[in-house]
Amino acid sequence: MISHFDRDALPSARSFFEREFGSALGRARENSKGYIATRCVFHNSENPRSRSLSLNLRNGNFICWSCGARGGDVIDFVMKRDGLDFKHAAMKLGAWNESPTPENLRQIEAKRIAREAENAKQAAKKERHRRERIRLRDEIHTDTKLMKKISTELRKDPDNEQLWASLQLASESRELTESEYDKLL
């Protein structure tokens, strides 16, 4: 028998916490980082309106500012709340498979391959973006050097119209390249 943990089978933090806390979350407001405050389930507060437990609805982080209970995801939450080990918490959340069928194994492998392909695609996109920034940066430096060289020549011959025209072209080229570079940031 093969056992395995399937992270993709975990519920999203938002759906898990909404299911666990129900209407208590509906009254609270999520902040810009995805946190919401509610009553702590890890200790009995004397104040029934206490909202010391902060839950992150995006990634599952949680911390109680009164009792210090904390964790990084919904598995940690279930482990701590229910006193379970990792395997049993994952089982409770439907993310542990004791005896996968060949079909489940194919699905798991397909998900892994898809995840790796997406990661490779993102890495390639990031690398193309980085190379384009470097190319534009180098072009800006080249234009700047050219402008300095032309300026030096203009000090010697301030009436040379060709040098002035060249300086203007180099300046416009640098401005366009800087504009492209700024769009990539």
Give yes or no for residue 5 having a pLDDT over 90: no
What local confidence, expressed as pLDDT, does residue 45 receive?
A: 82
What local confidence, expressed as pLDDT, does residue 1 receive?
A: 44
The DSSP output letter for 9 is G
pLDDT digits (tens, 9 = 90+) for 70-121: 999 999 999 999 999 999 999 999 888 776 667 767 877 888 899 899 999 9
Of residues 30 and 155, more confidence is placed in: 155
What local confidence, expressed as pLDDT, does residue 26 receive?
A: 67
Give yes or no for residue 25 having a pLDDT over 80: no
Name the token pair of 103.
Answer: 């079909």
Distances (CA, A) of 120 to 124, 127, 185: 6, 10, 22
What local confidence, expressed as pLDDT, does residue 101 receive?
A: 65
Euclidean distance between CA atoms 60 and 38, whole angstroms: 14
Q: What percent of the chain has pLDDT over 90?
A: 64
| Contact of 151 with 168, CB cutoff 8 Å | no
Q: Report the chain's mean pLDDT, rounded to a whole number.
A: 89
Residues listed for the chain: 185
| Contact of 53 with 28, CB cutoff 8 Å | no
Distances (CA, A) of 115 to 26, 77, 111, 118, 119: 33, 26, 6, 5, 6
Amino acid at 169: L
User: How large is the average pLDDT for residues 13-32?
Assistant: 83
Q: What percent of the chain has pLDDT over 70?
A: 94
pLDDT digits (tens, 9 = 90+) for 40-84: 999 988 887 888 999 999 999 999 999 999 999 999 999 999 999
Q: What is the pTM of this model?
A: 0.53
Of 75, 80, 62, 79, nearest to 25 (Cα)? 62
User: How large is the average pLDDT for residues 133-152?
Assistant: 96
* Residue 172 pLDDT level (bands cut at 50, 70, 90): very high
* Residue 169 pLDDT level (bands cut at 50, 70, 90): very high
User: How large is the average pLDDT for residues 146-151?
Assistant: 96
